[in-house]
Amino acid sequence: MPEGDTIFRSARTLKAALAGRTVTSFRTVLAHLARVDVDSPLTGRTVDDVVASGKHILIHFSGDLILRTHMRMHGTWHLYRPGERWKQPGRDMRMVIATDAFEAVAFRVPVAELRTAATLERDDVIQSLGPDLLDDNADLDEAVARLHALGGVPLGDALLNQRAVAGLGNVFKSEICFAANLSPLAPVGSLDEATLMRVLAIARRQLRANVPDARAAALTTWNGGRRTTGRSHPAEALWVYGRAGRPCRRCATPIALIKQGPDARLTYYCPVCQHLRG
């Protein structure tokens, strides 16, 4: 599933390609978007901005229209020059936003809605999001308070709660807990504020390490895999995620794998390095 770093990179690239340009055509196979487009056509509008909000991408068009998308497990945005061959099959296309210079194609995106500023302001999905760690102005004290308020929820599950802190997903959950030397099973309410602030500092550092500099990124896609160890080789890029049964990079204990939460999300951890707290 795309996590906050992936969404941030996608939004930034879409903004670089589309912002300030006029929409020359809009196509979609999603009936609810097509209905809105009939009454409030996107064609002829200017793309004013593209921003990431947690795991959501918000594309702002002139005339007070906002497209909200969520990638879920398999959704992606691609950019192509006009006439360029797509790298995904046409059957997976959900919408195409075309300008004179680029086509932004959403493949397998399951959540897409057109909103106005007023309806977005009332959208609980967006308004209930916790602080986004890739936002330089994120209120980390608020994020700590929201996490602590979850009480008996295990830390691994709490970090995935988008109402507490926005943007983290399954890979970062495991990697953050390891880097903090905390068990993903520890009740989040048992951790003091200083510990939770340290967890968020690690989370922010890991997320930012996976967002390349805007000037270097330009309009290229991210070619490297997700990294948390600081090492570039793919086999050495992560501390624990996907490494069940393999030796811990610190103590050589076999990495454990459990399923957590109502969705049975996979969690990887070292039973020795990550002692149970609380």
* Active-site residue identified among 3, 103, 131, 154: 3
Strand-pair partners of 273 = none
CA distance 203 to 209: 10
- Residue 27 CB-density burial (10 A; 0-12 exposed, 13-18 middle, 19+ buried): middle
Q: Is 262 a catalytic residue?
A: no
Closest CA to 168 of 51, 9, 54: 54
CA distance 53 to 58: 7
Strand-pair partners of 68 = 58, 113
* Active-site residue identified among 55, 131, 173, 175: 55
> H or E stretch including 140?
helix 140-148
Coil/strand/helix, residue 104: strand
Contact (CB, 8 A) for 167 and 186:
no
* Active-site residue identified among 2, 131, 154, 184: 2
Distances (CA, A) of 210 to 11, 66, 185, 223: 14, 27, 26, 11
Q: Is 3 a catalytic residue?
A: yes
Number of H helices, E strands in the chain: 9, 10
Q: Where are the beta strands (DSSP E) in 85-239?
A: 93-98, 103-107, 111-115
Q: Where are the beta strands (DSSP E) in the chain?
A: 25-28, 47-53, 56-61, 65-70, 76-80, 93-98, 103-107, 111-115, 256-260, 265-269
> H or E stretch including 206?
helix 193-209
Q: Is 247 a catalytic residue?
A: no
Active-site amino acid positions: 2-3, 55
